[in-house]
Chain A
Amino acid sequence: MRGPMTAILELRDLKKAFRAPGGEVTPILDVPAFALEAGAQVALEGRSGTGKTTLLHLVAGLLKPDAGSIRVAGTELTALSEGARDVFRARHVGYVHQTFALLDGYTALENVLLGMLFGAGADRARAEGLLRELGLAERLHHRPHQLSIGQRQRVAVARALAGEPELVLADEPTGSLDAQHAGEALALLREACAKRGAALLLVSHDPVVLGAFDDRRSLAELNRVAADAAQGSGR
């Protein structure tokens, strides 16, 4: 399935719409083309409601597009069954959620181990190493509610990297942090991805976050639906 290209992510003619229970169809995404090179770090700028999270869910294989192609690490996701996409996600994609999505009953270490369980398998030593690297050596056995927001964010980053993914998706990863912590967390995330050669696709509407990236793209330009909406509102 793997192609000769160096792109870790390729989107082509990607379309996604949501259907309301009444049958009304609302287009969300229409992306003619997008590519992300292996190891690259790209920030996608987009306001709320422009389909940022939907795009990441599609790339992660959590949603299936209505049309188009999604190739991640050379694998065509749209050709995979839901179960195969789950397995693929566990092995190739890390995900940092805006609200961190840590499980409350689990310690920091266990949350990171969960990031390995469904892929290569739990490796306690590596999970501990990741948390130490991210400055949480003293917090391995703390539960999320015993951690500061910044520490929770670092646990979320450690969990996203736990499965040694080739692509990390970050959905407003600093949205819950103040400016100072946001800057630190972002630097940590970028450094950790760069160290492992994992590509990073981050979506945000925060200019400070976006300003930290050399490669910034506008979702409004990528996504025809958002572009049309912007045009419509501009008229």
Chain B
Amino acid sequence: MTGVFLIVRKSLRQHALSSAVTVASVALAAGLVMAVFAVARQSRLAFAGGSLGYDAVLGARGSELQLVLNTVFHLETSPGNLPWSTYEAIAADPRVELALPYAVGDHYKGFRVVGTDARVFDELEYGDGRKLAFAPGGRAFDPARREAVVGARVARETGLALGSHFQPAHGVQEGPASHDHDEQYVVVGVLEPTGTPSDRVVWIPIEGIYRMSGHELRGTGDAYVAEPGVPIDDAHKEVSAVMLKLRGKQAGFQLAGEYNRRGAPTTLAWPINKSVAQLFDKLGWVQRVLELVAYLVVLVAGGTILASLYNTMNERRREFAILRSLGARRRTVFGVIVLEAATLAFLGCLLGYAVYAAILVGAASVVRAETGVVLELWSVHPALWLTPLGLVVVGALAGVLPAQKAYATDVALTLARG
């Protein structure tokens, strides 16, 4: 067997250029296939698999998915507002463990400004039950002041730090309709990175949203503009959503039945993970297309192996005849070519891990930039070993045709021709 490896090694080195091109094409295929499966799974796990901090979201009548994207991932626009009384009613419900009001509608340099109350810093959980934590020197905002707490990514990208002043802008994202509000806020806390969408949030007291210049409250149905120094009657207040922790599954079933009943002005997204999972299910066809493309690339890589070996068969006929004259059996020569093909695939797969890592890092940085969600880059996925295994088999199969040609070499005739 040592001899066979020597012959394979020599051949690969002798045809270094075509070997390198073949290995590169296999590497691309391997990297692509592994990335397609791993990114899909990691995305699903990151978005829908882990703890999102809440069990349910209550919002205005509309799409559950839009509600979740808006409140949990801080994407999309709010489907509408709820009167403060709805918040109070569900907060007082014995089936609800925690209810936090969210009010949105402003941003700072593209980062969502969320008005809520300071319990969020004690109650919001992420990952495996971890709580938000302040970077040294930071604290929660005072609900009565124009103070803000910013997520780690906001701080890093906007330069906001403890003591920084800023003016929120109207609208949930930058655009032609966006304009700066008059109010100035001071940063009193910067959160440690969480790898969740919370890193991309500017948290301010919910009262701040109500009192932002140009904001109108329509809790009563009529427009109301808060006046400085004058308390706001609860009847005018609105919330974009209420984030909920429930007391068990039964509570979820019951509340979903009540708040989602036909004709109700509300939508309860419960469980949150299910809503996100539905998004991935809806996008399943994209995944299937990507898988198909990846498989086609694998076929092309197999074809490249076949072509690169087959093209050398004529020039190598003399080599095979000499090996046979030295006692190599036909099946040994056949095995050399198949092993050579499998080795090309194997080397390609090794390099494919680098391609995979590059794609994964790229995809993860895009996902993180767009959503704040951090993909678990180095978690083990079956594709990481199944793909190389499959590609080595494909490579070996691609070597069968050239190997057959080598197998059929007429030794006496080839040697007689010199």
Contacts and interface: CB of A to CB of B under 8 A. Distances in A.
Interface of A: 53-54, 57, 60, 62-63, 82-83, 86-87, 89-91, 95, 97-99, 101-106, 110, 113-115, 117-119, 121-122, 159, 163
A86 B328 contact: yes
Contact of B327 (A86, A101, A106, A122): A86
A95 B412 CA distance: 13
Given A99-B418, A106-B10, A83 B412 contact: no
Contacts of B332: 118
Contacts of B330: 82-83, 86
Given A105-B10, A110-B6, A113-B6, A62 B412 contact: yes
Contacts of A103: 10, 319, 322
Contacts of B323: 114, 118
Nearest to B10: A105
A118 B325 contact: no
Contacts of B325: 60, 62, 89, 95, 97, 101
B322 A53 contact: no
Given A62-B412, A122-B3, A83 B327 contact: no
A95 B318 CA distance: 15
B324 A62 contact: yes
B331 interface: yes
Contacts of B318: 101
B389 to A, nearest CB: 29
Given A86-B327, A90-B327, A105-B14, A63 B412 contact: yes
Nearest to A98: B418
Contacts of A118: 3, 323, 326-329, 332
Interface in B384-418: 411-412, 415-416, 418
B2 interface: yes
B260 interface: no
B213 interface: no
A53 B416 contact: yes
A128 B6 CA distance: 17
B14 to A, nearest CB: 4
Contacts of A89: 325-327
B13 interface: yes
B51 interface: no
Nearest to A105: B14
Contacts of A98: 418
Contacts of B415: 53, 57, 62, 97, 101
B11 interface: yes
Contacts of A62: 324-325, 411-412, 415
B406 to A, nearest CB: 14
B12 to A, nearest CB: 10
B10 A122 contact: no
Interface in B1-51: 2-3, 6, 10-11, 13-14
Interface in B208-243: none
Interface centre among A114, A122, A159, A163 (most CB of B within 10 A): A114
Interface centre among A62, A87, A102, A121 (most CB of B within 10 A): A62
B3 A117 contact: yes
A217 to B, nearest CB: 22
Contact of A115 (B319, B324, B326, B331): B326
Contacts of A53: 415-416
Contacts of A63: 412
B61 to A, nearest CB: 75
A108 to B, nearest CB: 14
A219 to B, nearest CB: 16
A95 B327 CA distance: 10
B166 to A, nearest CB: 68
A55 B330 CA distance: 21
Nearest to A119: B327
Nearest to B13: A105
26 contacts: A57-B412, A60-B325, A82-B330, A83-B331, A86-B328, A87-B327, A90-B326, A90-B327, A90-B328, A101-B322, A103-B10, A103-B319, A110-B6, A110-B10, A113-B3, A114-B322, A117-B2, A117-B3, A117-B6, A117-B326, A117-B328, A118-B3, A118-B326, A118-B327, A122-B3, A122-B6
Contacts of A99: 418
A119 B325 CA distance: 12
Contacts of B2: 117, 121-122
Nearest to A101: B322
Contacts of A82: 329-330
Closest 7 CB pairs of A and B: A90-B327, A117-B3, A118-B327, A105-B14, A86-B329, A99-B418, A57-B412
